[in-house]
Structure 1
Amino acid sequence: MSVLIAIPARYASTRYPGKPLADLRGATGKSQSLIERSWRAAMAVQGVDRVVVATDDDRIRYAAETFGAEVVMTSPDCANGTERCAEAHAALGGGFEIVVNLQGDAPLTPHWFVEDLIAGLRAAPEADIATPVLRCDGAALNSLLSDRKAGRVGGTTAVFDRAHKALYFSKEVVPFTSKTYLEAEPTPVFHHVGVYAYRPDALAAYPTWPVGPLEGLEGLEQLRFMENGRGVLCVEVEARGRQFWELNNPQDVPKLEAMMAEMGLE
């Protein structure tokens, strides 16, 4: 099945304007922009036919073309990354059997997260969209809880049924647990990894649906699929010793840089 990875990137982020061009320093002291690191993460995924950066901003286009990325210009009216991926896929003439949305704020996404995601969607013909989830250890859960206590929107959490069909996604930490966990202890909370694999018919339909109440409240684009009765598959992935975090706020820059230093990532 032919696979396209689209990396949606916009300059006018509410929480972090200019985020795709923010520099992150790796273990060797070398700085690269967030969008370049996200593109390099996409290029490391096996079994992908094409990788593009989808943006509406000439500053991002120029930066991406400078480091060698293919760019698809999209409308500034796209409400989120899913709509931008839908527009990019259409602009390329369609034809891909799976479209992956690797959001431009997740440069630490290991290639096997995306490879396992693609394999999971291929194996689940009843699913319209698939997304990875990572079981939190005590340290990751405490980081999520600290963000919420400080009034910051950190990572998103997911709950799903026994068949791994999504029940809900939230920027709150769900499910609630009153237990205190050791740093390396597994917890019942799953961190949603902001990557999506779509079947093209569901992706094309997405921009035609109005924003529902849950998407409006949470600000989570994947809830629009659920509010329109489309099945969302949660694919559990393994960290394999890698740390993972998205860049959601300016305060996340030193956190990501510390993670890259600890893992020896250039």
Structure 2
Amino acid sequence: MSVLVVIPARHASTRYPGKPLVELTGATGESRSLVHRTWDAARAIQGVDRVVIATDDDRIRDAAEGFGADVVMTSPDCANGTERCAETLELLGGTAEIVVNLQGDAPLTPPWFIEDLVAGLRAAPDAGIATPVLRCDGATLNALLADRRAGRVGGTTAVFGADNRGLYFSKEVIPFLPGTYGPEDETPVFHHVGVYAYRPAALAAYVGWTAGPLELLEGLEQLRFLENGETLLCVEVDAKGRRFWELNNPEDVPRIEAMMAEMGMA
């Protein structure tokens, strides 16, 4: 029962070109690139058989090999990380039981998020894909709302049914909120953690589907699964006091560095 972790990393990001090579300074003053820190996060996960960085860019390959990473060169035609994971699995022989897509912009992802995600997918044989969701406290919710008011596309939110099947994901804050929340309040909003665990059959099906209108409007790759009737399991994870944020825009760099300093991350 092998688990392959793939870190898709592309240089030509529309919102933030060169993002994987952006330097982040930790609590001790040490500076490491975003893709390096994501690699470190992946290596801390228990129960993983292999971790690779999948890229189509020589600069990212050279940087990754410089800190000892295992790199797979993929096609520049991959439209998103899921397609890059599918190609990586094929290039590596297609033998993994579960493929984890640890997005290259998520250096604050705790290892237990991935461990719980893999366990959740294994326990749901009818699901082809699983993804973590984290209930927002008021501080996180207010940060998401502030990004939207400023015209920035920040985190993604998720809604799911009583059976934990994903219903929708959006870069808007959903569901509708009739009131306001203090920083420590528990809210009904779930922050989508941009990580996926796939069964190989779901990955193979994905690349055979064309992008639908919702995926194109939202710019969210996981909506292709929902638009084609695939069961997508939402696995609620516990931050255990850890702060979480993804690097989507240049404005996120000082926010993430502050979180790293607060948590004492080197």
Per the normalisation by structure 1, the TM-score is: 0.99
Once residues 25 and 217 of structure 2 are traced to their aligned partners in structure 1, the CA distance between those partners, rounded to angstroms, is 34
Distance 1:53 1:190 in 2: 28
Query: Is residue 2:39 matched to residue 1:50?
Result: no
Inter-partner Cα distance in structure 1 for 2:73 and 2:139? 39
Distance 1:95 1:89 in 2: 8
Sequence identity percentage: 75
Aligned-partner SS, 1:253: helix
Question: Given the alignment of the two structures, is residue 9 of structure 1 paired with residue 9 of structure 2, yes or no?
Answer: yes
Range with bigger deviation, 178-187 or 100-109: 178-187
Instruction: Name the amino acid aligned to 2:102.
Output: L
Distance 2:170 2:61 in 1: 31
In structure 2, the residue matched to 1:128 is 128
Q: Can you list the C-alpha shifts for 1:62-90, whole angstroms capped at 9, x where unaligned?
A: 00001010000000000000000000010
Partner of 2:177: 177
Q: Deviations over 1:85-121 (max 9, x none)?
A: 0000100001100000000000000000000000000
Alignment of 1:97 with 2:97, yes or no, is yes
Structure 1 residue 176: Cα displacement = 1.0
SS at match of 1:62: helix
1:195 aligned partner: 195
The letter for the 2-side match of 1:89 is L
| TM-score, with structure 2 as normaliser | 0.99
Which residue does the alignment assign to 1:167?
A: 167
Q: Secondary structure at the match of 1:147?
A: helix
Deviation at 1:178, TM superposition (A): 2.0
How far 1:184 moved relative to its partner? 1.1
Q: Which residue of 1 aligns with 2:248?
A: 248
Structure 1 residues 70-149: aligned runs within 5 Å: 70-149=70-149
Shift of 1:181: 1.1
Give 3-state SS (helix, strand or coil) of 1:151's partner: coil
Is 1:39 matched with 2:10?
no
Distance in 1 between residues matched to 2:185 and 2:26, nearest whole Å: 28
Gaps of 5+ in 2: none
How big is the shift at 1:228? 0.7
Report the residue type matching 2:152 in the other structure: R
- Give 1:264's aligned residue: 264
Structure 1: gaps spanning 5 or more residues: none
Cα distance in 2 for partners of 1:21, 1:256 equals 15
Letter of the 2:51 counterpart: V
- In structure 2, what is the Cα distance between the partners aligned to 1:240 and 1:100? 22
Q: Give, in whole Å, the separation in 2 of the partners of 1:36 and 1:184.
A: 32
CA distance in 2, matches of 1:178, 1:65: 50
Match of 1:103, as an amino acid?
A: Q
Q: Distance in 2 between matches of 1:178 and 1:66?
A: 50
**Alpha-carbon RMSD:** 0.4
Give the counterpart letter for 1:150 in structure 2: A
Q: Any idea what SS the aligned residue of 2:262 has?
A: helix
What is the CA–CA distance in structure 2 between the aligned matches of 1:184 and 1:204, rounded to whole Å? 42
Runs of 4+ in 1 over 2 A off after TM superposition: none
1:43 is displaced (CA, Å) by: 0.4
What one-letter code is carried by the residue in structure 2 that aligns with 1:163? D
